[in-house]
Structure 1
Amino acid sequence: MLAPLIAVPMAAALSAGLIVRLRPLLVRYALARPNARSSHTEPTPQGGGIAVVAATLAVTGLLIAAPEASRDVLVLGFGAVVLALVGAVDDIRPLPAWARLMLQAVVVGGVVAGVDGRLVPALPPAVERTLAVLAGIWFVNLVNFMDGLDWMSVAETVPVAAALALFGRFGALPPAAILVAAALLGAMLGFAPFNRPVAKLFLGDVGSLPLGLILAWLLYRLALEGGLAAAILLPLYYLADATLTLIRRAARREPVWQAHRSHFYQRATTNGLTVGGVVGRVFALNLALAALAAATLLWPSPVVTLGALAAGCGLVAALLIRFSRAPTADGTRVP
């Protein structure tokens, strides 16, 4: 199947080309100005996600074979466009939290309804679908929350999308999902040069929200094909950082819907690590998690699965601890 191989360079070229054309407009109308919660110090245009989402959807639509253009792919594309529009509005004039969640719930609900298959047959279908929608909403938001550092979304999406496309070649995903993963990989590679530290362009909510939706759909499809452990392992760093941070803020009675700088990766830069040091560690961790995910697919035994999950949790915990510790005067690190 050549379409995914063609999709990567095609989406990369289209994404980069769109960014070059759009950047003057983004500089004029979509500057993200630094504030107390920002990781950047200079006004920087946001909205690069327009090119990423457009390239992903355009290349998928162009290369997908008619028999593979299933309902769920069409619904995903429509949902991604809707969330991109919501994000574009939010980038310019922030929406109330309730409005964002309501629109996200409608989109994620439609995407989940468009996917055939059962993940936990023992549960009533309505309960399983409701849990899937809640998980999808959380994943869309956590991808948005984690997009707060140069190259962070690249360090997450590139290895995850590459792993999904590779797993699909061995039967872990249907052909249409493989093509979506390959197109997303290429689109993020096209965006990466503009977002490398110090970033000249940000994704913005217009990119991070649909990015979260597309990744959530791909991981859901992987789980439905029998790769539940792999679907958990691939985004495990994002899941852990965002979820633990939310729990910690809720326990402190902080407004969890407001922007902040208390994620582990943000604390790491405050504690002295460079941006490159943070995203480099996240990228390396994601490669390790992808290898563990591959092991659960190649050797689908309880021993391998439980061992891979335990190893993945240990690696993620070690990095979170590393990020949360500040250096002392002698160079050692303390909590």
Structure 2
Amino acid sequence: MEYTILGIILMILMLLYFKVADRFNIIDKPNQRSSHTEITLRGGGIIFWFSALLYFVQNIQNSYFFFTGITLVSLVSFWDDIQSLSNKIRISIHFLSITLIFYDLELFNLVPVWGVLIAYVLAIGLINAYNFMDGINGITGLYTLVVMGSLLYVNTKIQLFTSGIFIKYAMIASLVFLFFNYRKKAKCFAGDVGSIAIAFWIIYLVLKLILITNSLIWLLFLAVYGVDAVCTIIHRLYLKQNIFEAHRLHLYQVLSNEYKIQHRLVSLYYAIVQAGISFLIVFLYQKIQDIVLFIIVIVPLLLIYSLKFYLLRKNNLRLSL
């Protein structure tokens, strides 16, 4: 009953946001680098912050640093959705927010200095990677459901590391968002406020699980996004492009834009592949060495990603799209 009520409240908040976005013209206008062709409301992903707020109201003492952090990244991201901000400002706020959850998780006491530095790079990198991957209908919502569902399973069956309710709040927000976004013609897009807020939520949970189990294997819950984002960045650096500018070089963009595969179908492919990987991780956890499991997962994903170059050449498409 609690989750039904939560879903109804979030649905109402989303509808109210639509009125605000329409009133203040918070929209996403398509351009030559976009994967959509129609003007659509932007910032629907604010629903993730609303869900975090509702959880915080009920658990103030246990989520103060997390909520402060997700509020900061949501605020600066929403501002960026309305009026572009410099990368320095955004990265600075990301750094501050990550510092808050590092403090909350006592990372500074548990990990050596070099480990903390690596954690900063990974956390900020994952936040931006999650944002880069938010480009077609349904991909953020479906992928988030898979990641959160995997974390919930681990929390329930393998290692209790957080409140199950905390994870479910994010999943319900994803379902509400998908109701408006997983359509042929989306009612709204997540915007930076959505993709970055939920990425922050996921990073907090994954990091907490890593610290409790002393295993990095849980990073593979983000393997599909990670491989696509990192390989695309390397590709763009090779082409001497500005990696912070809009483009159409992600594998999902090539499939949906150049090969005209329906957006919702491409999003479903990504979610299904990640679900399969998550199942493999859970099944093989502590049965084989972590490094072996990383190789088993990453190598096939790299091979799949390499198909992008074949697809581009096959249709005489420019590699510098």
TM-score, structure 1 as length reference = 0.85
Identity %: 22
Report the 3-state secondary structure (helix = DSSP H, G, I; strand = E; otherwise coil) of the residue aligned with 2:206: helix
What is the rounded CA distance, in whole Å, between the counterparts of 2:143 and 2:309 in structure 1? Answer: 19
Q: Alpha-carbon deviations, 1:100-134, whole Å to 9, x = none?
A: 11121111122212212589x7x6x2222222112
Which residue, 5, 19, 29 being the options, matches 2:14?
19
Query: How much does 1:20 deviate?
Result: 1.5
Distance in 2 (alpha carbons) for counterparts of 1:117 and 1:172: 19
Structure-1 separation of matches of 2:247 and 2:96: 26
Distance 1:215 1:80 in 2: 11
- Distance, in Å, in 1 between the alignment partners of 2:303 and 2:7 is 33
Aligned to 1:188: 174
CA contact (8 A) 2:139 2:264 kept: no
Instruction: Give the corresponding residue for 1:281.
Output: 269
C-alpha displacement at 1:277, in angstroms?
A: 2.5
Aligned with 2:213: secondary structure?
A: coil
1:291 aligns to what?
Answer: 279
Counterpart in the other structure of 1:75: 65
Among 95, 100, 111, the residue aligned to 2:90 = 100
Distance 1:187 1:22 in 2: 14
Contact 2:256–2:266 (8 Å) recurs in 1: yes
- Cα 1:323–1:283 change in 2 (3 A) is farther
Query: In the TM superposition, what is the alpha-carbon distance from 1:188 to its structure 2 partner?
Result: 0.5
Alignment of 1:106-121 (within 5 A): 106-116=96-106
1:57 to 35, 53, 59: 53
- Distance 1:319-1:80 versus aligned 2 partners, 3 A rule: same
Which residue of 268, 279, 298 corresponds with 1:313? 298
Question: 1:43 maps to what in 2?
Answer: 39
Runs of 5+ unmatched residues, structure 1: 1-5
> Kindly tell me: are residues 235 and 110 of structure 1, through their superposed partners in 2, closer, same or farther at Cα, counting changes over 3 Å?
same
Q: In the alignment, which of 219, 232, 245 is matched to residue 232 of structure 1?
A: 219
CA distance in 1 between counterparts of 2:303 and 2:23 reads 42
Q: Residue 234 of structure 1 aligns to which amino acid in structure 2? A: F
1:113–1:129 Cα contact (<8 Å) kept: no
For 1:151 and 1:187, the matched residues in 2 are separated by 13
**Counterpart of 1:302?**
288
- Please give the residue correspondences for 1:182-261 in structure 2 after superposition, counting only pairs within 5 Å: 182-196=168-182, 197-226=184-213, 228-261=215-248
Q: Is the 8 A contact 1:146 1:238 kept in 2?
A: yes
RMSD of Structure 2 on Structure 1 (CA): 2.5
Match of 1:75, SS state, is helix
For 1:16-42, what per-residue CA distance to the aligned partner results, in whole angstroms no more than 9, with x for missing partners?
221112212212321111111111111
Q: Taking structure 1 as reference, are residues 277 and 314 closer, same or farther at Cα in structure 2, changes over 3 Å only?
A: farther
Amino acid in the other structure paired with 1:181: I
Q: Deviations over 1:190-222 (max 9, x none)?
A: 110100132110111111111111111111111
Q: Distance in 2 between matches of 1:7 and 1:217?
A: 24
**The one of 20, 23, 28 aligned to 1:28:** 23
- The answer for unaligned runs of 5 or more in structure 2 is none
Could you state the TM-score of these two structures normalised by the residue count of structure 2? 0.88
Q: CA deviation at 1:99?
A: 1.4
SS of aligned partner of 1:222 = helix
- Alpha carbons 1:14, 1:190 under 8 Å: kept: no
Match of 1:161 among 148, 155, 162: 148
Code of the aligned partner of 1:192: L
